[in-house]
Amino acid sequence: MQEIRDNIMSILGNIKDVCMRTGRDPDSVTLIAVTKTIDPDRINYALECGIRNIGENKVQELTAKYASVEKNVKWHLIGHLQTNKVKYIIDKVGLVHSVDSINLAREIDKRAENAGLVKDILVQVNVAQEETKYGIEYEEIDSFVEQLSMLRNISVKGLMTIAPYYEDMEMVRPVFRMLKEKYDMLAGANIPNVEMRHLSMGMTNDYEAAIEEGSNMIRIGTGIFGARSYNI
Ligand SMILES: *Cc1c(COP(=O)(O)O)cnc(C)c1O
């Protein structure tokens, strides 16, 4: 467990270093601990170490762990969300990162309305157009966001992407840069119901480059909990 604490401290140190270099406030970068395959004991330990945001990529895993995790935490749904599973997470998740279709957005809107709340969401963008990844195309962002702006019970809070994996972290920069450009454009566009507050990009392998390119929300799994074993 001590390892988890050391890892968190080292990542927070790296965030601080990058922010110092680039003239940003380290507190402006939100660290999400990605807890997929991690048991509640280890999650709760990470919370003791100061983690306030956790991310799960599967609805079933999230709901299974939900009651066993301490309450002083914000849950993020970071993986692909099927329309028929929205009802299970609507009252549990603070931010849905993976909105990638109008049908999904409408379902979240409907469930949020029934629950009497407005759900914060991010638009997932497949910047590098990878076959294996979810997300809308870069060229579709404007029209998609415009459609979302009409839904009253969701609030668009930013953009998210999962960058391609490159051995050389430098290769990934253009992906981050493109999304930051769009984020800034939308921030200045004054679209009702649309506010650019979170730019969710950067994982264990590439978070420093992501922050350098303007990310303010990073999602770290392996870097905190070590390599995952997928047998729970
Ligand atoms: C698993 C996952 C992460 C974390 O990946 P690591 O490389 O372990 O840091 C981040 N984002 C999403 C969407 C994930 O599914």
**Ligand 1 pocket check: which of 4, 31, 57 to mutate, most ligand atoms within 8 Å of Cβ?**
57
pLDDT by residue (tens digit) across 155-167? 999 999 999 988 8
CA of 220 to the centre of ligand 1 (A): 6
- Of 230 and 112, the structure prediction assigns the larger pLDDT to 112
Reply yes or no on whether the pLDDT at 197 is more than 70.
Answer: yes
Distance CA 211, CA 200 (A): 10
What is the pLDDT averaged over residues 181-188?
98
By percentage, how much of the chain surpasses pLDDT 70? 99
**Ligand 1 pocket check: which of 58, 78, 100, 224 to mutate, most ligand atoms within 8 Å of Cβ?**
78
pLDDT by residue (tens digit) across 121-176? 999 999 999 999 999 999 999 999 999 999 999 999 999 999 998 888 788 999 99
Distance CA 106, CA 151 (A): 7
CA of 6 to the centre of ligand 1 (A): 19
Residue 103, amino acid = N
N- to C-terminal Cα separation, the chain: 18
> pTM of the prediction?
0.96
CA of 192 to the centre of ligand 1 (A): 31
Instruction: Residue 172: name the closest of 185, 160, 162 by CA.
Output: 162
CA of 213 to the centre of ligand 1 (A): 18
| Residue ranges around ligand 1 (CB below 6 Å) | 34, 36, 57, 78-79, 162, 203-205, 219-223
Fold observed for domain 2-225: TIM Barrel (3.20.20)
CA of 79 to the centre of ligand 1 (A): 9
Q: For the chain, what are the domain ranges?
A: 2-225
Distance CA 184, CA 195 (A): 10
Return the ligand 1 atom nearest residue 222 CA: 8
